[in-house]
Each structure stands twice: as C-alpha cells, then as structure tokens.
Amino acid sequence: MLLAGNILFAHTINYRLEKAPTHEAVWFYLKMGISHIIPLGLDHILFVVGLCLLSPKVKILMWQATAFTVAHSITLALSMKNIIVMPPAVVEPIIALSIVFVAVENLLLTQLKPWRIAIVFMFGLIHGMGFASALNEVGLPRNKFFTSIFSFNAGVELGQITVITLVALLIFLPFAKQVWYRKFVVYPLSILIALIAAYWAVERIMEL
C-alpha cells in the first residue's frame, strides 16, 4: 500500500499513465488484459477450454462463462482495493487445482449440474486474484482506477472469447456431432489438461 497525502492507496501506482490521456490508458490495459490470456495465460486458457469441453451447447457454456466472468471481475476489483488479499504463492496452486477439478469433472459428467456453476464461480474468485497480482505489477493510475480496471477486464474477456471461438471452430464444429466425440475428444483432452495442471499444482506447492 502507498500513502499519498491523506489518501491510502492499496494498489501500486502507475504514475506514467496518470499523466497520459484516458484513451492511452484504456488501450494499454485492454492490450494487457488480452495478453494475460493470449499468449501468456496458458493456465487460464486450459481452464476455459476445460469449461468448454463439458458440452458443445451454447447455453451450458454461457452459464459457466458468465459465472466465471462475474466472479473474477469481483475479486479483481476488490483485490486491487486491498479489500481481499491472498498472496500469489497461495493463489497460483489453487488456480492449478481448479483446472484439475474441471478437467476431471468433464470425465464424470455429461450435463451441467447446479454445483458446477457454484464451483466455477468460486474458482473464478481465485482466478480474479491471480489477475490482480499480475495487474499490480504494472500498477494503476489513481485518477483512472475504474477505467483501467474495466479496460483490463474487457481485455481478459476478449482473450477468453477468442479461446472459446477457437474451441468452437477447431473442436465443436468438426467433431461435436460425432458419436465418438466424448470418447476420442473430451476424454483425451480432459486427461491431458488434468495432467498438465496437476504438474503445475505440485510444482507451485513445492515452491511454497
């Protein structure tokens, strides 16, 4: 936290962008949000792909994506205001474990269950703290706090929409209607995602 005058700031301050025009700050954080998913956020990409694999139905995907988006938006803002604080050393292993959970559940479920929405929401809260940690490394301008948060979050959403679109084009459209879709697409991809994320979880826990 930084003290400026009589005002307490919970986040790192980006002094350069405080003096820049608003549109420059918007563009800067929008690009940062996109790049935090593509190409830098492989763990977040695998989580989104895992959400997609449960079912190719748009309604099911939208329920999960909405729960995840709302949740990470909440904790992103609250973490930057220092209202909710969790160290990256704790957040990162949980993010990896959340990917394992979603991937394993894809092997067990064939349709959306109410608890899946609740669990995705809770994991979204954790992912939001991960986004906040990355954002805090760059900092936010005090006079453009909410504009910058909104722009970064919009960039994250554009990145996620891009991932979902690619999954639709590369997986859903060519394979989803095939009778072997779950056996030869969902199962192998979910197992691969689970193994990668489990490796990350162990690696991150060992670093604690």
> Tens-digit pLDDT profile for the chain (208 aa)?
333 333 334 557 777 888 888 999 999 999 999 999 999 899 999 999 999 998 888 888 888 888 999 999 999 888 888 888 788 888 999 999 999 999 999 999 888 788 889 999 999 999 999 888 888 888 888 888 889 889 999 999 999 999 999 999 999 999 999 999 999 999 999 999 999 999 999 999 998 7
Q: pLDDT value at position 13?
A: 79
Give the Cα separation of 86 and 75 in Å (integer). 10
Residues 123, 47 contacting (CB under 8 angstroms): yes
**Residue 131 has which token pair?**
């986004």
Name the H helices within the chain. Answer: 15-18, 22-37, 42-53, 58-80, 88-108, 114-138, 145-167, 173-175, 181, 187-206
Look at the alpha carbons of 154, 42, 86, 63 in this order and tell me if their dihedral is positive or negative.
Answer: positive
pLDDT at 11 (0 to 100): 58
CA nearest neighbour of 146 among 56, 58, 1, 22? 22
Q: 78 pairs with which residues across the strands?
A: none
